Amino acid sequence: MKTFKPKVPGFLVGIKIVIVNMLKTLSPFHSKPNVNYPFEKEKVAPRARGVIALDQEACTSCMLCARQCPDWCIYIEGHKELQPPSKPGGRQRSRAVLDRFDIDYALCMYCGICVEVCPFDALFWTPEYEYSEFNMGDMLHNKERLDDWLKTVPDTEGLES
């Protein structure tokens, strides 16, 4: 024998779902999915991609990152200087000196190719995400500003044995 189920209009089912979820969020045991941003900072994942930091000492201005960047948002200039010989009677060596290293974050799409392609580990991801500007021209970060971000790079975990 079939039982008779009266049909409930669809909007009543929707209202029931809204009320149930509203009561759940009012519960003191409910975890809040959002944070009140300017007053509370969100905890990001340890390996989050925020801004790119530069280690000026490690950079040799080889321009691999600038050539591989699909957005062409990295600008590098450098020159070579002769270094004195390390031993008496040795010959002078040339060393590349970084003059300019800029990243235009207004163009960057945060793909990470520059970080991966750098053979000297001069570029790093930092979890910092608060670098918005009112002026579009201020999104061009120079090497000093990129070097300041280096302090926020998390320590890398050791390799598994």
Report pLDDT digits (tens) over 35-68: 788 888 888 887 788 899 999 999 999 999 999 9
Q: What per-residue confidence (pLDDT) applies to 13?
A: 87
Q: Domain range spanning residue 137?
A: 51-152
- DSSP for 113-159, please give it: HHHHH-TT--EEEE-------SSGGGGEE-HHHHHHGGGGPPPPPPP
Asked if residue 55 is part of any domain, the answer here is yes
Tell me how many degrees the CA angle 36-42-46 measures, rounded to the nearest 5.
175
In a domain, 137, yes or no: yes
- Evaluate whether residue 99 is within a structural domain: yes
Position 124 in a domain = yes
Spatial separation of the C-alpha atoms in residues 44 and 41, rounded to whole Å: 9
Residue 113 lies in a domain: yes
**Mean pLDDT of all residues in 89-99:** 89
Q: Is 60 part of any domain?
A: yes
Looking up residue 105, the CATH number of its domain turns out to be 3.30.70.3270
Report H helices in 27-106: 64-68
Q: Is residue 108 part of a domain?
A: yes
Domain count, the chain: 1
The reported pTM is 0.71
Given pLDDT bands bounded at 50, 70 and 90, which one contains residue 4? low
Q: What is the mean pLDDT of residues 97-105?
A: 94
Of residues 43 and 117, more confidently modeled: 117
| Pairwise CA distance, residues 125 & 50, whole Å | 6
* 44 domain-assigned: no
Pairwise pLDDT comparison (155 vs 18), residue with the higher score: 18
Backbone phi and psi for residue 16, each to the nearest 5 degrees, phi listed first: -60, -45
What pLDDT shows up at residue 110?
A: 92
Rg (CA), the chain: 27
DSSP state of 36: -
